[in-house]
Structure formats: structure tokens, C-alpha cells
Structure 1
Amino acid sequence: MASFNKSKVLKTEPLEQKDAKWATLVKTTYTDPNGVERTWESGERLTRPAGSDIDGVGVVAILKDPQNPTATPQILLQKQWRPPINATVIEVPAGLMDPKETAETCAIRELKEETGYTGEVMEGGFGVSPVMFNDPGFCNTNLRMIHVTVDLSNPENQNPQPQLEDNEFIETFAVPLRDLWDECKKFESQGYAIDARVGTLAEGVELAKRFRLS
């Protein structure tokens, strides 16, 4: 697969609310701390399953090789073209929740479907993040980040085969976790867009390094 997807935007036009399948616009009326009535326009996702507190998950998948325990951990990333910004984006594996599905199950399923890898959710209370809102000033979309390890010695991970849908064109690759900030800067210089989840992870790693937090 080429590093830059050859997809392109053909046109952009208004979407009638009655035709919306994935998201819609709403106008919220509220009062501010001074009692003044105001309005707010925002997006609202239409796909959150009943009973779920999140729309989807992002997967922080760390590749580990038990045969080489001192090797630098690598993080699994993806390249995927996204129509709203007409650009190929550097992302983590991610996906929407299915009905009656837990965040952990969703993460393992999406990881397998998008990358072919089989992973395990990290233990010790670090496996599942708090609920995070992507852009709360604009939309109500939210998710949990699920932290997963991928055992490269597992026979299932020797030759991973993604199970992509016919409208998914995803290139999976890995980079050293400690170099994620520099990798993001490099990808940006090459014309890629950086997903905020990847950028935030990179910032966290870089802050931990610079301020010697561990």
C-alpha cells in the first residue's frame, strides 16, 4: 500500500438533518453563571449504543517480544485517509462500540480487525482510561483509551492479517514509543495529519523524558 492514499474529495455540500446517519447538529439553549440565556451549536453522534457511556475506543497497542525483553517498546500506529480533512492521518487503532460490548472487548476486536494482531488489556488498573471527550466545545463524541500489549511470540501474531471492511484502507506500522514525538514531527513535515490521540501520547512521552518523571 502506498504511504499516501490516493483517495480525494470530489465535493462538499450541506447535509440535511433527515439524511444524517452518523452525526447531526443540535442547538442547545442554556443559561450562563450570570443567568443570561445563550445558545450553542454542536455536533452529536448518532451511533452510541443504548446503555453505553462511550461512542468508541482508541487502542494504545505496545508490541513486546519476550525473546528480547530489553528491546525498546514499539507502539502500533496506522495511516488512514480521512475525508473531513482530505488528508492521510497518523492514528492509533480505534473503532465504535457494538451493542452490549465492553470497552475492553471492543478494543481487542478492533485491534484484530484493523491490524491482525491479538492483544491483551494491561492489568493493574492501567488498562482502561477515564472517559475522554475529543472536542467538547464542538461535539459530544467520547471514548476510552485501552492500553494493550501484543506478544510477538504468540503464533497468532507471527503473520497478522487485517480483516478490513471494503471501505477501509489502513496501513499499519510501528515506531519506537520513546521516539513518538520526533516521529510525529517527521510525519507532519511529510504532509501527514496527526490525530490528537497520537499527538497527546507523544507529548506525554516527551514530557516524561524531559522532566525525568520516571
Structure 2
Amino acid sequence: MEYEEKTISKKEVYKGNIINVEKWQVLLPNGKEASRDIVIHPGASVIIPLTENNELYMVRQYRKPVDAELLELPAGKLDEEEDPEVCAKRELKEETGLDADELKHVLSVNSTPGFSNEVLYIYLATGLHEGTACTDEDEFLRIEKVPVKKLLDMILNHEITDAKTIIGILLADRIIKGEMKI
């Protein structure tokens, strides 16, 4: 790779419940050294719960870092060594109470490659069956079923600002229109 930075050393700066932060010394392509602050994240699964009527089950929850209630796709952090598909099934059930007859991996994306190694694994869930949500004790959310067409308008009106959710809604729209086969 022409622009690769070679890692010289790594030092853990912070160890948390969701993320760790490391300071990496790197050798640049021009031979100079630089420092990088890297957020280490186990990754997360994002679920696109699509109904037969082209609606998505969404979750509305307060997000402290942005001090706002956001409308998002169900998602959650991978447990240590957890398979992303297992995480997707678990998070779908925990956050919405739904089970899916079919769960298909659609896409994997790097959420913020400028400073984090987090990968988001995006799954399409179909053949949905309602049950009871069993959220974590520190999680407060409301489930909403919204037509994809309305969600697209909400993106353009700045009512949906979460990047993973925007990606998932755009993928759902392409799948509905038959522009994307999975």
C-alpha cells in the first residue's frame, strides 16, 4: 500500500465498558513519525426489520452524547468474540421483541475510520414475528413502525441524523425497489 502507516508502538490510554482508547506511534510513508489516538471498539450489528408493507421497525431513544432523542434502527454492540449474526438476532429481540424468519447480511461499513476500528454489520430481517422486548436495565426506548417512504423524507428533513440508520434506510429502499439483491 502506497500510503500505509507502519505501527511502531501501542499504549492503552483508557479502558471502558464500550470502548478502549490507545495511542499509537506510526511511521509515515515519508519516513516521519506521528501519533494516532485510536478508539478500539468490538463492532456492532445493525438490523433493518422490514415488514411486508415496506415499513421498518425503528427505536426512539435518548442519546446523551448528542443530547437528543433519535429515531434509529435497532442495533447493538458485539459481546466479546460474538458472531455479528448472533448479535443481530439478540439485539432485534431485546430492543423490539421481534424474531425474524430470515436474517441476511447486507453490508459491513467502517463507522469512523479516521479514529476508530469499529465495524458495523448490517442485516436485513424479514418474516417478522412480534413478541416482547427485553431491553437492558439502562435502556429506555419506544418502538415505532414507519413506512420507508416516510423515513426517506425524514432523512431529507434532518429528522433522522444517525449515520447507521441513514445507511440502513437507503439500503431498504434499494431492496424494496429491486435495485439490490442479497
TM bucket normalised to smaller: 0.7 to 0.9
Query: What does residue 146 of structure 2 align with?
Result: 175
The runs of 5 or more residues in structure 2 that have no matched partner are 1-12
How many Å separate the matches in 1 of 2:15 and 2:86? 31
Aligned equivalent of 2:38: 42
SS of the aligned residue for 2:105 comes to coil
TM-score (norm 2): 0.77
What is the alpha-carbon distance in structure 1 between the residues aligned to residue 74 and residue 172 of structure 2?
19
Q: Establish whether residue 60 from structure 1 lines up as the match of residue 41 from structure 2.
A: no
Structure 1 pair 23/101, CA: closer, same or farther in 2 (3 Å)? closer
Of 99, 124, 138, 1:147 maps to 124
Distance 2:36 2:147 in 1: 42
Q: Work out the CA distance in 1 between the residues paired with 2:98 and 2:45.
A: 16
State the shift of 1:101 in Å: 3.6
In structure 2, the residue matched to 1:30 is 26
- How many angstroms does 1:115 deviate by? 0.6
Q: How do 1:122-201 and structure 2 match up within 5 A?
A: 122=103, 127-151=104-128, 154=129, 157=130, 160-186=131-157, 188=159, 194-201=161-168
Give the secondary structure class of the aligned counterpart of 1:98.
Answer: coil
Separation (CA, whole Å) in 2 of partners of 1:113 and 1:141: 22
Which amino acid in structure 2 is aligned with residue 140 of structure 1? N
Contact map agreement 1:43 1:139 (CA 8 A) in 2? yes
Mapping of 1:114-125 within 5 angstroms?
114-122=95-103
Q: Alpha-carbon deviation of 1:130? A: 4.3
More strand by share: 2
Aligned mates of 1:79, 1:43 — CA distance in 2 = 26
CA distance in 2, matches of 1:103, 1:162: 20
Give the aligned partner of residue 3 of structure 2: none
Q: How far off its partner does 1:131 sit?
A: 3.3
Answer yes or no: is 1:113 the counterpart of 2:94.
yes
- Shift in Å, 1:186: 4.4
CA deviation vs aligned residue, 1:46-71 (integer Å, no higher than 9, x gap): xx3xxxxxx2201111012xxxxxxx
Query: Once the 2 structures are TM-superposed, how far is the Cα of residue 171 of structure 1 from its aligned partner?
Result: 0.7
Distance 1:87 1:93, change over 3 A: same
Aligned-partner Cα distance in 2 for 1:130–1:204: 9
* Native 8 Å contact 1:60 1:75 kept in 2: yes
The sequence identity of aligned pairs, in percent, is: 25
SS at match of 1:147: strand
Task: Note closer, same or farther for the CA distance 1:203–1:62 as it changes in structure 2 (3 Å cut).
Answer: closer
The alpha-carbon deviation at position 99 of structure 1 amounts to 4.5
Number of equivalences: 167
User: What's the CA shift for 1:177?
Assistant: 1.7
